Structure 1
């Protein structure tokens, strides 16, 4: 059959290049869609083993697969290795990113700080979360990866709100965004993460934001 001028190119030429924006911490998906229940089962297995006192250094992919009742290849189809799996384990302990109304810098900053406040309360009440954080901190490369893939996203959310405030005139435009972000977030992190006995009252996010805005509002 003769090809027409508008015929599609051969399949090999039309195939899209592999996406460079695949979700971090996951292997490229092949064949069937991923089974969310199976993913959860593997992550829950890791959390259970850590809760039982198994050190992170002893958690091999082989052991995780065996304890989860799946094949090692099944785990590797989902995660490139143990480090990628541990990042998803850490993400499973995070609060869902809050919806921001986008109408008031103050309200959005309070919403973001409330997420950190609740995470601090969860850390104090959850032995699993405390243990996971302690074990990951003992592995500098994994801790750095966690900061790059998870903590940086939180910081960027705060910076985006502050940049919007600069554009709308709610925040002074002559200040450094990263410095302002640290001024907003650091008091909550200090109380929530580093001082286990410090109180975390419900009105704390508003008090912090109001104190900072007092200094960074246009004169």
Structure 2
């Protein structure tokens, strides 16, 4: 692995695209070295509690300041690391409630498959809920935005008259995402076959359409 060292801090950018942390443009090479180091430490058998910023910096060949300029702590670093190896969040088509939730559930299906085939994801997720700060950071920056995406899609569907207006939006979201969560978390051996998102959405939609 190539070594990376600090060469000084450039002047902060006033408006840096992508919201660079701590006022410094992000170095993709340094960030990838940090991610690679964290992954290597986890794959070597270290528990999350034993993977420190100091160990990551030493393995990556960077100073600790390089890491802290990008992340305020280990929890935030690991959240970004998980996001980097997961499928990206979908861009919803916005054409119908059905289309939006098929896209959302397909992303969930792909994440479920990734967790089954990635030793890193399986390792981290099996430990993550033991560390409340890490779980809270992941929930607030990853899970909660996806949930809001689903709730907004449901509200648009109600406005368009696709489903009944008397329905509880949170409950409807649970009905859509519940089957995939069940198969990927509670029943990790259950199938996640192609076409499952369409099957779930069509089944749920049958019970939500306006009554004649």
TM over 0.5: yes
Shift of 1:99: 2.0
Shift of 1:105: 1.1
Show the 5 A alignment for 1:1-219: 27-30=21-24, 33-219=25-211
Aligned to 1:28, the other structure's residue is in SS state helix
Larger Rg: 1
Deviation readout 1:125-145 (Å, 9 max, x if unpaired): 111110011122221221122
**RMSD of aligned residue pairs (Cα, Å):** 1.7
Q: Name segments (4+ residues, structure 1) moved above 6 Å.
A: none
Deviation readout 1:90-134 (Å, 9 max, x if unpaired): 211221111222112111111110111111111111111100111
TM-score normalised by length of structure 1: 0.84
TM-score normalised by length of structure 2: 0.87
Could you tell me which runs of 5 or more consecutive residues in structure 1 were left unpaired when the two chains were aligned: 1-17
Pairs aligned (count)? 196
